[in-house]
Homo-oligomer: A and B are copies of this chain.
Amino acid sequence: MPFQHVKDILSGKLNGNRRVKLRGWVYLKRDLGDLQFILLRDGTGVMQTVARKGVTNPEAFEKARKAAQESSLIIEGSLKKEKRAPGGFEVLIEKIEIVGSSDNYPLAKKSHGVEFLMDNRHLWLRSPKQRCILRVREGVVDAAREFFRREDFVEVHPPMLTSSMVEGGATLFQVKYFDRKAYLTQSSQLYLEALIFSLEKVWCLAPSFRAEKSRTRRHLTEYWHLEAEEAWYGNEENIKLQEKLVSFICNKVGENYQEELETFNIDPKRLCTVKPPFKRMRYEEAVSKLQRKGFNVKYGDDFGSREERALTIDIKKPLFVTNYPIEIKAFYMKEDPDNPGTVLCNDLLLPEGYGEVIGGSERETGYEKLVKRIREIGESVENYKWYLDLRKYGSIPHSGFGLGIERLIMWMLKLQHIREAIPFPRTPDRIYP
């Protein structure tokens, strides 16, 4: 007899009053003496099963009694409708096999401290909430992929090990690469810029690394970075592409993951109603707004979590902040000819206090200007030789951006901390498990 999945049974693909065979893990156990309830979870859902003394054969009843939380079981029995069971069905156990026992499951208690949960991340991932996050994460990535396919982008795979830096040397992880040093990439942007000269529009989803000691609720040392680079796009087209992408992802997840959203008490409307255009605010307006809110911030200061939180705590739609001062942004951003001293760039801030999820800009295309900027930040021009070649041989206007997918997921599901948005989070204090 073949195995069935819980989801197929609960979705009505299989009718009631028939024999079923399930396999999975004991999610919850209720021992009422003559009644042994086992909530069995497989990769697709949770099914209530029950052994009744006097009805279930004694051997099976005894095994049901013994089966502890998270032991793995194979259960055969008859399916019947049962209003009081989650999903409306129940399996009356006839046969049961304990595949793998589970004594003293560490996460059996209802609540645990965060450090304990993180130490047991490999087990915590089994919980229904964590499973929902993993599924929504797949949905986010799938939606992004569909979006880029529709927009004629080519998916590429940039290198993780590099000999040069992108976002400044302070946050680089160093790797012993045989007899020399290498670094873990902070962004694939420079490589994507090379690739647009071949493929015009490219995107990637790949890890990026930041050796920042920030212990905030929105920083990881290793995160998955969705980056895109677009030949012939100006700053305005780049911003429009970003709001279209974020809306597309939100809408898709809102449509296709209603059950998962429910687990987090999220109304799908929250995601289905995200639509372009997003609001925009120039950096200087943002500074004024922060000053009015009592922040001790002046023109030329960069924004951190606190500032971004203040800018977005009261809004419901994502917000572009544009035209940052040239001094506080990366060397490759193009100066705005209409607003000298500022660059053609944007940060996209998520509402409700979540803050930055995307950084984007039009790229500087002039060879001499780039060399000047690289020198100004105290870098060696030699380190950027190959990158500068892109401005020597058929330079073109282009733009691009990078989105941190964990931050997007965090906002979509209103997670308290980014560490739950990735299966095995890495923070300054944690590389285990």
Interface residues of chain A, those whose CB is within 8 Å of chain B, are: 3, 23, 25-26, 42-44, 70-72, 99-103, 105-106, 120-123, 125-126, 130-131, 134-135, 137-138, 141-142, 145, 154-163, 173-178, 182, 184, 191, 194-201, 206-207, 209, 211, 213, 221-222, 224, 231-232, 365, 386-387, 389-397, 422-424, 426, 428, 431-433
In the bound assembly, the distance between CA atoms of A207 and B231 in angstroms comes to: 26
- Can you offer 21 A-B residue contacts whose CB atoms are under 8 A? A25-B197, A43-B196, A43-B199, A70-B394, A100-B395, A100-B396, A102-B393, A106-B389, A122-B194, A122-B386, A123-B389, A126-B198, A134-B154, A134-B156, A134-B199, A137-B157, A174-B175, A177-B431, A178-B213, A182-B431, A386-B432
Of all chain B residues, the one with the shortest Cβ separation from A224 is B157
List of B residues within 8 angstroms of A121 by Cβ = 386
Rank and list the top 7 A-B pairs by shortest CB-CB distance, nearest first.
Answer: A43-B200, A100-B395, A386-B433, A72-B394, A122-B194, A159-B424, A102-B393
Q: Which residues of B contact A213 (CB under 8 A)?
A: 178
Task: Find chain B residues with CB under 8 A from A102 CB.
Answer: 392-394
Cβ-closest chain B residue relative to A103: B392
How far, in Å, is A178 (CB) from chain B's closest CB? 6
Residue of B nearest to A157 (CB): B224
Question: A42 touching B200 by the CB < 8 A rule?
Answer: yes
| Whole-angstrom CA separation of A119 from B86 in the bound complex | 62
Q: A154-B138, A199-B43 are in contact. Are A191 and B392 (CB under 8 A)?
A: no
* Secondary structure call for the A interface: mixed
Q: Knowing A44-B200, A174-B175, A174-B176, say if A99 contacts B191 (CB, 8 Å).
A: no
Which of A25, A42, A209, A394 lies at the interface centre, i.e. has the most chain B CB atoms within 10 A of its CB? A394
Cα distance A100–B396 when bound, in Å?
6
Given A126-B197, A199-B134, A395-B99, residue A157 in contact with residue B70 (CB < 8 A): no
Closest to A232 in B: B23
Apart from A138-B156, A161-B221, what 13 extra A-B contacts exist at CB < 8 Å? A23-B232, A23-B396, A43-B201, A100-B394, A100-B395, A122-B386, A134-B198, A159-B424, A161-B431, A175-B184, A178-B428, A206-B207, A386-B432
A365 to B365, CA, bound (A): 57
Q: Shortest distance in angstroms between A196's beta carbon and chain B's nearest beta carbon?
A: 8
Contact yes or no, A138 B155, CB < 8 A = yes
* Given A138-B156, A177-B431, A231-B43; A125-B198 close (CB under 8 Å): yes
Residue of B nearest to A184 (CB): B175
Q: Given the known inter-chain contacts A177-B173, A200-B44, A395-B72, please indicate yes or no for A194 contacting B154, CB distance below 8 A.
A: no
Q: Are the CB atoms of A70 and B393 closer together than 8 Å?
A: yes
Measured between beta carbons, the chain B residues less than 8 angstroms from A23 are 232, 396
In the complex, what's the smallest C-beta–C-beta distance from A67 to chain B, in angstroms? 10
B160 touches A222 (CB 8 A): yes
For A392, the chain B residues whose CB sits under 8 A away are 102-103
Interchain CA distance A131-B195 in the complex, whole Å: 9
| A175→B178 contact, CB < 8 A | no
Least CB separation from A183: chain B residue: B431
Partner of A394, one of B26, B122, B137, B396: B26
Q: How far is the CB of A207 from chain B (nearest CB, A)?
A: 5
Complex Cα spacing A106 to B25, Å: 61
Which residue on chain B has the smallest CB distance to residue A107?
A: B393
Is there contact, CB below 8 Å, between A433 and B194? yes
CB distance from A270 to the nearest CB of B (A): 24
Given known contacts A159-B424, A231-B43, is B174 in contact with A134 (CB within 8 Å)? no
In angstroms, how far is the closest chain B Cβ from the Cβ of A382?
Answer: 11
Which residues of chain B have C-beta atoms less than 8 A from A191's C-beta?
423-424
The CB with the most chain B CB atoms within 10 A, among A211, A224, A393, is that of A393
CB-defined contacts of A391 to chain B, threshold 8 Å: 100
